Amino acid sequence: MLVYNTKTRTKEEFIPQRSGEVRAYICGPTVYDYCHIGHARTYINFDVLRRYLEATGYDFIHVQNFTDVDDKITKRAAERGITPTQLSDEFIEEYFRDMDALNVKRASRYTRASDYIGKIVEITERLMAKGIAYRSGGTVYFDVEGAGGFGELVSGIEGAVTDPIMSLGKRGPFDFVLWREGGEAEQSWDSQIGRGRPGWHTECVAMAMDSLGEVLDIHWGGMDLIYPHHECSALVARAITGKPFARYWMHNNFVTLSGEKMSKSAGNTAYIKDVLEGFRAEVLRTYLLSKGYRERMEYSEAGMERMEKTYDLMVEGAAEARKGGGGAGVSSCIKEYADAFFGALDDDLETGQALAVVERLSWEITGGAPDKDFAGASRIYDAVEGVLGIKLGR
RNA sequence: GCUAGGGUGGCUGAGCGGUUUAGGCGACGGGCUGCAGACCCGUUCUACUGGGGUUCGAAUCCCUACCCUAGCUCCA
């Protein structure tokens, strides 16, 4: 399979470290609010990657975190008069409700940042011992220059950041927080390096390494995480192990609303739970897979209405294909379609192209091409359900 | 600056090396209507940012230029 690696900005042949086994980590949500359809796109595409690799014979180990240590969590919890843990619990439950509805397979393991404070402290101490982290006041910073600078995933950051925060005591403008003394109201933990709480970037390193070892096969996330989160995580990991954090970095593009990235602060957010009040979950899943994961995708109700028709057509096609049972052979025309379908997925998970094949087949099999032989078509619909994870009704 | 996705007929929007046109909207004509709308039927637009290249053949692949959009220490 070819996958686009953010690190090299090219499609590469996917080869895991151990044959037959894939160790993959995906950044989960910060659990202080409901998930929107951008989250859905991220986890659905990753889910398809998993299903595809499993279908081709790999053992896929999928670890996903929940970021439950964060300013937004303490703030939101304080507003509601509950503990950060109560708030996180609530939205983790909501996360599962949404993802189960969308037929996203559960991860092999879920980790919570708050369970990894000890490991995070350990990492911070190791970095301090190596001289790559330094204390300034109550804060421990990571020395970006000292670690060799950025460049694992991004370049030209200096040009993007017009006003790097050069707060008192930081050695370099891009140095980031590993550990910060916490105030009374915030989440904080006692540790050898003082009472406080960790920075975001070390959390994922601690969780991923603990669960999957020093080098991941695949690290996935939304492309808004490339910088700073993944770049910084990669730097931390390399500083500790001397090895790259991940062999393949994969990032999906955004879902836009009226041409703009959804943003909670700007108020243009389509929550999964709200969308599912008006549309079936299978339609949303199909919609979010109707373009390749690296393309930007515009969400609109009009688009969803169109997708309902496409989805219904696929359901009809599946019913038609399964009418005759399954025993018969595979016609040459179905073989072509199957090749196109799996070929699309094999080429960097081109789900949009794969779906286009199914759409065409569905149109033809339901009457559009009466002269063609569709023997064996059910195997394609089986793959739509099994690999794309789109249920086609019963 | 860096990164990604694009530039297709009046508009919107598919197409991903060749054949039969995408489709939708609009416009035009007709049907139905006292008129209009809605609806139905038919017709019309033959397009691919500029410049190179590969090929028997390119909107489709490669190079290049220009332009647009989005993102770039809160973010999936």
A366 neighbors A317 (Cβ within 8 angstroms): yes
pLDDT the model gives residue A259: 66
pLDDT the model gives residue A269: 83
Q: Quick one: pLDDT band at residue A61, thresholds 50, 70, 90?
A: very high
Q: Quick one: pLDDT band at residue A105, thresholds 50, 70, 90?
A: very high
Higher pLDDT, A3 or A371: A3
As a whole number of angstroms, the distance between CA A163 and CA A166 comes to 9
Q: Which nucleotide is nearest to A353 (CA to C1')?
A: B16
A389 neighbors A346 (Cβ within 8 angstroms): no
Distance, CA of A306 to C1' of B43, in Å: 26
Higher pLDDT, A351 or A26: A26
Across chain A, what does the average pLDDT equal? Answer: 88
Nucleotides of B under 7 A from a protein CB: 1-6, 14-15, 69-76
Distance, CA of A309 to C1' of B33, in Å: 32
A289 neighbors A45 (Cβ within 8 angstroms): yes
As a whole number of angstroms, the distance between CA A134 and CA A220 comes to 29
Written as six digits, the tokens of A78 are: 């304080």
This prediction's pTM = 0.91
Pick the CATH number of A12-252 from 3.40.50.620, 1.10.10.10, 3.40.50.460, 3.40.50.2000: 3.40.50.620
Neighbouring residues of A9: CB distance < 8 A, sequence distance ≥ 6: none
Best-predicted range by mean pLDDT (A201-210, A253-262, A353-362): A201-210
As a whole number of angstroms, the distance between CA A354 and CA A290 comes to 9
Identify the CA nearest to A357 among candidates A330, A320, A317, A300: A317
Q: Tell me: the pLDDT tens digits for A300-353? A: 777 787 788 788 888 888 888 888 665 668 887 788 788 888 888 888 888 888
Q: Which residue is nearest to nucleotide B72 (CA to C1')?
A: A160
CA angle A361/A366/A370 to nearest 5° reads 90
Global ipTM = 0.85
DSSP string across A64-131? EEEB--SHHHHHHHHHHTS-HHHHHHHHHHHHHHHHHHTTPPPPSEEEEGGGGHHHHHHHHHHHHHTT
The mean pLDDT of A359-370, rounded to a whole number, is 77
The mean pLDDT of A71-78, rounded to a whole number, is 91
pLDDT the model gives residue A46: 94
Domain range annotation of chain A: 12-252, 260-386
Neighbouring residues of A4: CB distance < 8 A, sequence distance ≥ 6: A10, A11, A12, A250, A294, A348
Q: Quick one: pLDDT band at residue A100, thresholds 50, 70, 90?
A: very high
Written as six digits, the tokens of A169 are: 């005591």
Distance, CA of A51 to C1' of B25, in Å: 39
Which value, in Å, is the radius of gyration of the alpha carbons in chain A? 23
Q: Which nucleotide is nearest to A155 (CA to C1')?
A: B2
For domain A260-386, the CATH class is: mainly alpha
As a whole number of angstroms, the distance between CA A364 and CA A370 comes to 7
Distance, CA of A316 to C1' of B41, in Å: 28
- Is the torsion defined by CA of A107, A315, A375, A370 positive or negative? negative
Best-predicted range by mean pLDDT (A43-52, A174-183, A285-294): A43-52
User: β-strand A255-257 against A109-112: which pairing, if any?
Assistant: unpaired
The mean pLDDT of A253-280, rounded to a whole number, is 80
Site of tokens 């937004």: A72
